[in-house]
Chain A
Amino acid sequence: MESMATRDAYGKALVELGKLNKNVVVLDADLSKSTKTEKFAKEFPDRFFNMGIAEQNLIGCAAGFATSGKIPFASSFAVFATGRAYDQIRNSIGYPHLNVKIAASHAGLTVGEDGGSHQMIEDIALMRAVPGMTVIVPADGEEAKQAIFAAAEYEGPVYIRLGRPKVPMIFDSNYKFIIGKAAVIKEGTDVSLMATGIMVSEALKAAQDLEKQGINACVVNISTIKPIDENTITQVARITGAVVTCEEHNIFGGLGSAVAEVLVENYPVPMERVGVKDTFGESGKPNQLLEKYGLTAKDIVIAAKKVISRK
């Protein structure tokens, strides 16, 4: 299966976007080689601004660009972009609802060897809590590309969560990403696997394993965490009567929490959360970490069986 890191897709999409829209400017904080904004920097040096290792100022400058009619994409690692500069995002961008796109790479445990200090597992929770912020977590390169274009079209603040490792390509160009729309990528009647980001391909694997065991799982890609697609989530919950959420994020405040909120208010069904169990990460290879912290297809299968038994 073909694979690509969502940050690579971002870097390529930015260049395409830059050609189409001269209002697009890009800011980075000394990580352009890693976030892949360097491609844009090379192509459009007059529209790329390295802010150095100063994320608070990076976000503030982006706010100024936005009020001048530019479409700024501000990039760094997720831990710094959303953690270091949270107050700037809240007050300089969120409060006035400015048209800034925060595209942060190296989210989650799959940062790998850099360890717990760099493995951001709270960014979805932080960004989801900012009033008016749109939160997007693409599952693969194709979706990442489309999400970048959709974010540029959309007027308002957007957080886009990108990853470091290559992930399998799930979608092709026939797929149509729409902000706020979840996609059922496999139908099923026994349990719903609702996944985001890199966990979508794990959920698909889990669904195959469950199929072999006679369990018919539905897989939903929830790439927009906010505004969340209440209709699709409720419809699928009605059909399957059981839900497992899968995310490379703390189980508090992320996809699991968002789905739980929807279900409790609309159609309560038994639910299990696969995610990081309120702990920091550590050094290791991405796959070793996903295994150690319970973020693999195997873990999703276990959770699926458990939730079915609770029906």
Chain B
Amino acid sequence: MVVLNEKQLQEICKDMRADILRMTERAGSGHPGGSLSAVELMAVLYFNVLNHKPQEPGWSERDRFILSKGHACPVLYSAMSRSGYFPVEELLTLRQLDSRLQGHPNMKALPGLECSSGSLGQGLSISNGLAIAAKIDKKNYRVYCLMGDGELQEGQVWEAAMTAAHYKLDNVCAIVDYNNLQIDGKVEDVKNIAPLKEKWQSFNWHVIEIDGHDLIQIFQAYEEAKGVKKKPTVIIARTIKGKGVSFMENVAGWHGKAPNKKELEAALKEIYG
């Protein structure tokens, strides 16, 4: 496992943001908004938290990462390539015919993906299966599951939340990318999911609330979750959709729209200064 310092992580985050924008620009489609909001959460996870071997994706003791909000796969592909799963150049094949980088993750196409996702609400259930299997096999791996906030409107998420608590799955750590935007507008306007902390608490989860762009808070939250026993942990991360690109920040329209060349150039200038 690589461990980066804060400065190095900041640099990686810049590269990941640039990756997301370059990939989606090249593809002419994709989901930059909800990828950019999760950059710090993913960078800390892939570089400082996950116990994994990118050169050996099938290693049985590895921690599992489940991207439940499958449309944010640009950020996952970026984190995977930057941590050594595949060459960074391959990122630019996103969404193209015969690419391993499908528009939503296909675990059969790319080693290192732990599930296929895209239909929202399913990742936490898969995480539960992985976590119970770890308990049966007396393995120490942990399961991380990144969900969107809009995704929490899916009923299955709450079936899974009940299940993880019932089976005391302390090896499950869910992360909610709470950027408060979904396709049709603000989450609170489309269908309010608040009060979120209380919801998870009442489902018997340990809840940690953080600023999802603060690298230190993120790392501490993952570490705190590791120490929680007999119940699953959810990290509610307050984030900004489109984070890092001024004209994308907090604009719902950038959920599923790729930047054009000009927008990409402007965005890269902002990111690298």
**A residues adjacent to B (C-beta < 8 A):** 25, 46-47, 49, 51-52, 54, 56-70, 72, 87-88, 90-92, 95-97
Contact = CB atoms under 8 A, between A and B. Distances in A.
B116 A95 contact: yes
Contacts of A68: 129-130, 133-134, 137
A56 B119 contact: no
A63 B126 CA distance: 6
B155 A91 contact: no
A61 B136 contact: no
Interface of B: 106-108, 114-119, 121-134, 136-137, 155-156, 159-160, 162-163, 166-167
Contacts of A65: 129-130, 132-133
Nearest to B114: A67
A52 B163 contact: yes
A63 B125 CA distance: 8
Given A56-B159, A91-B117, A61 B122 contact: no
B133 A64 contact: yes
Given A61-B126, A64-B131, A65-B129, A95 B163 contact: no
Contacts of A92: 115-116, 119, 122, 125-126
Contacts, number: 109
Contact of A57 (B108, B125, B134, B136): B125
Contacts of A72: 129
Contacts of B136: 25, 46-47, 70
Interface centre among B119, B123, B128, B133, by most chain A C-beta atoms within 10 angstroms, is B133
B137 A60 contact: no
B130 A64 contact: yes
A47 B135 CA distance: 11
Interface centre among B122, B123, B126, B160, by most chain A C-beta atoms within 10 angstroms, is B126
A155 to B, nearest CB: 13
A57 B160 contact: yes
Contacts of B122: 56, 60, 63, 87-88, 91-92
B158 to A, nearest CB: 9
Nearest to A55: B159
A56 B125 contact: yes
Given A47-B136, A63-B129, 18 more contacts: A25-B133, A52-B162, A52-B166, A54-B156, A56-B122, A56-B155, A61-B128, A61-B160, A62-B129, A63-B126, A64-B129, A67-B114, A68-B129, A68-B133, A68-B134, A72-B129, A88-B122, A91-B122
